[in-house]
Structure 1
Amino acid sequence: MEIIDSIVELRHYLDSKRAERMSIGLVPTMGALHEGHAELVKESVRSCDLTACSIFVNPTQFNNPDDLLKYPKQLEKDLELLTMVGCDVVFIPSVDEMYPDQEKTITINFGQLENLLEGAFRPGHFSGVGVVVSKLLNVVQPDLAFFGQKDLQQLAVIRKLVKDLNIQSKIVSVPTVREKSGLAMSSRNLRLSEREAVVAANLYRVIDSVKTKILAGEQVLSGLTSAKVELEKIEGIELEYLDIVNSDTMSKVEELSEALNISICLAAYVGGVRLIDNLYIKQEN
């Protein structure tokens, strides 16, 4: 597996592979890799001739400086995992390499999409995501780029980015990978104690129950209300939001007939660690 930290060197390497008519897959990450990331890489390996993975903790998408400082880092373990799952090249740039003029970094406005759910609680987050993903797609120019369903709103933002900027890379969504308890795998889970991880598993249990009830005929608002009450009663969980939304626009829905793609989304703090999760309730494709 090649390890590259320079944009110029990465472009030269990938251009040589494209000259051999190799298709390229990209898996962007911020490190602290787990089985969810491994599935993204495996999907790329299955779909493309060459798989590139990036490891870059992007400072522009953190609205909370303390959250950036606490973000887990385990580069040696990350490289071992990537080697095992068949990654061909890993790009590990410095902040200066990605943002040579940090005082004048551009921003991107995604409109209403960035003001709802995650955007409402993390101002500027999706602008930071959009800028770094634009940079990575421009540098790598992959045929396919793989992202996890767990970050559902990020997925919607990136799809809008690619569509509006006429980027040729195709965005591929990979289903959320979960612990045996149902807890969605996340790099942030490393910050949970054993007890907190048990408490956090209730997040999935509750939204899965809501999905089942709504598909069985319960009204959306009724299902949401009972779920919020249940979560707020669980010691150790501080609910930030719980909504049922159009999966493409993140706008709230009250009836399943309102959109082709509908999901239940939540964010909550457990032991000071902010966790997000979602489930498709209705999915056209």
Structure 2
Amino acid sequence: MHIVKEISEVRSLVKAYQMAGKTMAFVPTMGALHQGHLSLFRLAKDYADEVVVSIYVNPEQFGPNEDFGSYPRTLDRDLTFCEEEGVSIVFTPSDEIMYGADKKYLSIEIDGLNDHLDGGSRPGYFEGIVLVVNKLFNIVQPDYSVFGQKDYQQFLIINQMVEEFNHNLKLVMAPIERAEDGLALSSRNAYLSDQERERAPKMYELMKIAVREIKAGLLEPKLMLEQQQNELEALGFKNDYLCVYSMDKLTPVSQLKKGETYLIAGAVYLGKTRLIDNIIFEC
């Protein structure tokens, strides 16, 4: 496994693989790897001969009051995981490598897909993601790149970026990996206290109930989700959003059509930890 910090090293290694007729899959991460990330690596290996992983905590996607400074950094452990999973190249750049010493760069505005969900709650978040992923795609130039369904809004926005910037690659979406009790795996789960960790799966449990009752026509989506948010608040969660959205444009939906596919997505705070989750369902 090659562990590299310089852009030129990544390009040289990728070019050598490609000259040998190998296809490349890329998985961008911020480190603090868990089984969810490893499932992305395994799916990437199903699509391509070689897998490239980046480990980089991108400062441009954190707001001024968010957790950039405390975000878990476990590089040695992460590298062990990558080696065990058969990753070919791990790219671990510094901020200076990614953005230059003076941090001057063009910004990219996002229209439409950024209006709701995390885009509505975290100003500048997706602009920072699009900036770094666009740069990483240009550096690695993979045939495939794998992202998780848990960040479905991110997947759609990156897919739009791929189309608009004419990146010659295919995006692959991996299903959400969950703990045995249903909690979606996340690096930020490490922030949860033992008591919070016991309560954390409740959001997914209530989302599953909401999907079942909405599909059965028992309640209008808005009323159903208001009930679920009230229950979450009673359990000590602080609600950010919980709504049913269209799959393509991520606009809130109040009237569902039989046979159509929708996304129910939510974000909450439990203590200081922000949790997100979603379910894709057919009505």
- TM-score normalised by L of structure 2: 0.96
1:35-184 alignment runs, 5 A limit: 35-100=35-100, 102-184=102-184
Distance 1:263 1:155 in 2: 13
Aligned 8 A contact 2:222 2:243 in 1: no
Aligned 8 A contact 1:231 1:239 in 2: yes
- Deviations along 1:120-154, whole A, 9 cap, x unmatched? 11101111000111011111111110000001111
Instruction: Give the secondary structure class of the aligned counterpart of 2:242.
Output: strand
Distance 2:191 2:226 in 1: 29
Distance 2:114 2:82 in 1: 31
User: Greater CA deviation, 62-71 or 89-98?
Assistant: 62-71
Distance 2:222 2:120 in 1: 21
Distance 2:231 2:257 in 1: 26
Q: CA deviation at 1:278?
A: 0.7
- Deviations along 1:55-77, whole A, 9 cap, x unmatched? 00000000135410111111111
Structure 1: gaps spanning 5 or more residues: none
Q: CA deviation at 1:102?
A: 4.4
Distance 2:260 2:155 in 1: 16
- Deviations along 1:64-106, whole A, 9 cap, x unmatched? 3541011111111111111111111100000000001544222
Q: CA deviation at 1:115?
A: 2.3
Instruction: Give the secondary structure class of the aligned counterpart of 2:133.
Output: helix
Instruction: Give the secondary structure class of the aligned counterpart of 2:171.
Output: strand
C-alpha distance 84-135 of structure 1, shift in aligned 2 (>3 A): same
RMSD: 1.5
Q: Given residue 185 of structure 2, which amino acid in structure 1 is its aligned partner?
A: M
Distance 1:135 1:65 in 2: 25
State the number of aligned residues: 282
Q: Given residue 16 of structure 1, which amino acid in structure 2 is its aligned partner?
A: A
User: Greater CA deviation, 77-86 or 96-105?
Assistant: 96-105
C-alpha distance 43-113 of structure 1, shift in aligned 2 (>3 A): same
1:216-231 alignment runs, 5 A limit: 216-218=216-218, 219-231=220-232
- Deviations along 1:27-65, whole A, 9 cap, x unmatched? 000000000000000011122100000000000000135
C-alpha distance 13-86 of structure 1, shift in aligned 2 (>3 A): same
Q: Given residue 2 of structure 1, which amino acid in structure 2 is its aligned partner?
A: H
Distance 1:221 1:18 in 2: 51
Distance 1:66 1:255 in 2: 35
Distance 2:95 2:24 in 1: 24
Distance 1:271 1:65 in 2: 15
Distance 2:134 2:31 in 1: 18
Q: CA deviation at 1:192?
A: 0.8
Aligned 8 A contact 1:26 1:51 in 2: yes
Distance 1:211 1:191 in 2: 28
